[in-house]
Chains A and B, each alone.
Chain A
Amino acid sequence: MRLSALAAVAAALALSACQDPAGVGLGLIDEDQADPSVRVVPLANIDTLTTTEPAIGIADPSNPTRPQARVLVGDVRDAEFGDATAIAYVDALQPADATRLEADEVLQVWLQMPRTYVYGDTTTTLPLELHAIQGEWDALASYPADTVFAVGPTLATADLSVADTLARFDLPASWVRANAATLVGDSFAEAFEGFSLQTAPGFVASPGAVFGLDTFRGRDSQGRPQGPLVGLRVATAEDTLTFPLSEVFSSIETQSPTAPPASILPVRRGSGTGLRFTADLGQIGPVPLSRAVVRLPLDRSYAEAGPFVRPIASLAELVGVRDASGTPQRTGLSILRSTGTGELTVDDPSGLLTRTLQQILAAPSDAGFDRYEVTAAQRLSPASLDILPVVLPTSGMERPPRFVLTVVGDPT
């Protein structure tokens, strides 16, 4: 009898045990239409667009609105992507212990910033000048990208090449004497507007270069500060204080390319150009969408031509635009990242692009976005002249710029 009881218990347990259902019974279900499939939608009307976002911000990586890790300075001639001239503007923040000093204790002042970026001829040596900014400016204001502020006479000069990892501008003793009281006084924030860095007027770019200078000290993977100090250095007999940079701005004046490439779009950050295109998703129909990816092939041969280098943007932003109401309404869709395979593609684990396109597919009456735009949003990466050499589609091209949609089944 015990055996019977055990058998009954065992049977009950065996039948109630949790087991994932297998493919049993699939033959009874009509699932011909149910398998996932891949739909490729070629992009159309690919063209450049004008962007207006200035390379401005706060030299603080934790700033929630406008962090800006780099300023640009230099002059470059680039027939394919357009000439560019950059002027850097930096302001500084007075440290709390500076006010404990007396003005006559200040012996020496200099501005130092690491050079970590170059666009253009890597053999170029830029003759740079430092000027004091005259008049107020605000990093949270909206200036045209090529805004130029009024500056005073040249205070310091320095020659900068790719071999130099640190740009240093020593302010003259006369300036130190004249401004020591401001540096250690309570009115520093109001009285000091910062410096501009620009190429000397006599410099002729041939083809020249634009350098990028870091605006704050970097950190290693453990979060420890690394690299040289960044900012205004104020030396006394006993100590050297650092005035970290605060507001920074890169005024970038660009020209249209004089010899634009035929096979790519000369999209470049900081030069006021982005990318736009359309895509007809109406052909897909109302199907479940598992993944949507946009793939933009890049021609990496434009990144380097001898000593002339053009960094390729690692990040960009995909935006959908609707024009229906007259005023363009923009919807952020995804971060794009350039990959080792030479494409700019979606890098968005949240699946926002997929979810948004799913809503469009689910509503046949929704024509979707009128166009899509790819821009290098400032919040994503430091100011630069990085390029996006997007390959233009040609007939017979195996993998043109495209949406790749993984859908399930056929339209209901």
Chain B
Amino acid sequence: MRLLPSVGRPALFALAFALSLAVSPAALAQGQNNYGSIYSLYGLGERVEVGSSQSAMMGHAGAALRSGSYVNLNNPALWADQGVTTFSAGASVASVRSEDAATDESSVGTAGDLTQLHLGLPLLAGRLGVALAYRPYSRVNYRAARRDSIAVEDEVAAYTLNQEGAGGLQQLSAGLGLRLNDAFQVGASAEVLFGTQELLQRTQFDSALYRETREARSTRLRGITATLGAAFTARSLRSDGDLLTVAAALTLPTQLDADRTVTLGESLDRDTLLTPAGETSVDGDARLPLVVRGGLAYQTGGRWAVALDGLYEPWSSFESSLPVGGYDEDQSVDQLQDRYRVGGGVEVTPAGTDRRAGVVRRTSYRLGGYAERGLYAPTESSVTTLALTGGLSVPNRLTGARFDLGFELGTRGSTEGVLVRDTFLKGTLTINFGERWFVRRRFN
């Protein structure tokens, strides 16, 4: 506790309480409408960063953040560090308050999500590790609504026009990380991308004489890509046991196969609209840009960790034969641009590697932040996100198990022109189990 002189135990409990409230089932039941940012309409949805719960609390800076108990999904080279078999599952709930210059009102959307599932296995502890992971790649979860009315002969019919987006891409990963020597480690993973984007126009009339209409444009996408990672670590630079790691990962560009259907109605009562060629769907493809991320991390004996990351995704090279949000080849519409992100954070664990210390001292405290230029430029001006991240990682009596409570508070965009400013708060709860498996018994 001497390392946190200005933060007393009551404050920690208050922070923990606030975070647990943000992800509590009660909050979900009360407020969830599964809507998020309007900006998720662009491209194939709002990109979701999932490295590890540790890196998420440190400004999503995890490309070089080595850990024996966390598997950082963004860089397979780090999977070689696994000392124990790990399993991690996380969920989040995010609230977004949006406002623009055109309306006096603001809207609030709340959406819950599964942040990740992964299983990591050390084939050779600290030298060779394998990981399987399931996580979101992108999310579409917006809604915009407008009230209006129409004259139907002698009647006036008031209605609400809803534009809604749902779905997104999932990412299934499997790969290996290998430590070549004390300094170098490399890794590779195969990524299967799949998912469905549904853009729905829903028109509700006030009068029960009018049916609610639903026209849904549903696009299924699937494809494969690969991620290559490398890390270099220098040891004992300033003190015994400290590490300075420089790492990078590259996810290759890929082409996703797509098919799109347009339906009217809902659930089982849907009518599929035929294409001009008489087909029930239109086939196409979308070309995802590469992802380059690099970073460095400095870690001292399990007590301090500092990480800094940069990310680049050239969405200006995105191509799609089917129109998507902000991109329509036939209409020469391209509002997508390169995405950049820089982030960094710090972690402190007062007890370091001392397992005999109390829970509060063995808890890791994390704080970070990031700045991101979004992959969209609706008015040819960039949309920037600034966010503060942080949280706690609380150990429990099970060896290697940690409960990570994280938050992300930030703003995105502005209210200039047609743009929207989002203020968002995201709470995450991740459970990380770590256990030694496959240990040969010495005695029977």
Contacts and interface: CB of A to CB of B under 8 A. Distances in A.
Interface in B413-442: 417-420, 423-425, 427
B264 A9 contact: no
Contacts of A399: 153
B310 interface: no
A344 B22 CA distance: 57
B264 A24 contact: no
Interface in A1-48: 1-2, 4-5, 8-9, 11-13, 15-29, 31, 34-38
B108 A12 contact: no
Contact of A15 (B17, B108, B161): B108
A12 B163 contact: no
Interface in A55-69: none
A221 interface: no
A22 B93 contact: no
Interface stretch (A128-136, A267-275, A347-355, A369-377): A347-355
B99 interface: yes
A20 B145 contact: yes
B214 A34 contact: no
Nearest to B278: A365
Most chain B CB within 10 A, of A29, A31, A289, A364, is at A29
A89 B144 CA distance: 65
B107 A24 contact: yes
B201 A409 contact: yes
Contacts of A409: 201, 215
Most chain B CB within 10 A, of A28, A290, A363, is at A28
Contacts, number: 199
Nearest to B165: A29
A15 B100 contact: no
Contacts of A404: 152-153
A343 B226 CA distance: 68
Interface in B1-51: 8, 10-11, 13-15, 17-18, 21-22, 27, 30-33, 35, 38-39, 41
Given A15-B425, A26-B102, A1 B8 contact: yes
Contact of B17 (A5, A25, A37): A5
A286 interface: yes
Interface in A388-412: 399, 404, 406, 408-409, 412
Contact of A21 (B32, B109, B211, B423): B109
Contacts of A412: 215, 262, 273
Given A12-B27, A363-B274, A21 B14 contact: no
Interface in B131-155: 142-148, 150-154
A351 B210 CA distance: 8
Contacts of B264: 286, 288, 358, 362
B144 A23 contact: yes
B31 A17 contact: yes
Contacts of A354: 211
A259 B82 CA distance: 99
Interface in B187-231: 201, 203, 205, 208-215
Interface residues of B, number: 78
A400 to B, nearest CB: 13
A88 B152 CA distance: 45
B89 to A, nearest CB: 22
Contacts of A12: 18, 21-22, 27, 425, 427
A406 B215 contact: no
A300 interface: no
A31 B106 CA distance: 20
B273 A362 contact: yes
Nearest to B10: A1
12 contacts: A15-B108, A18-B30, A18-B110, A23-B103, A23-B105, A29-B144, A34-B201, A291-B210, A358-B211, A358-B265, A362-B264, A408-B213
Task: Give 6 closest A-B pairs by Cβ, nearest first.
Answer: A27-B418, A5-B14, A25-B38, A8-B18, A288-B213, A15-B95
Interface of A: 1-2, 4-5, 8-9, 11-13, 15-29, 31, 34-38, 286, 288-291, 295, 341, 349, 351, 354-355, 358-359, 362-365, 399, 404, 406, 408-409, 412
Given A358-B264, A406-B152, 18 more contacts: A1-B10, A1-B11, A5-B13, A15-B96, A16-B32, A16-B95, A20-B145, A21-B109, A23-B146, A23-B147, A24-B38, A24-B106, A28-B418, A29-B41, A288-B203, A351-B211, A355-B211, A358-B271
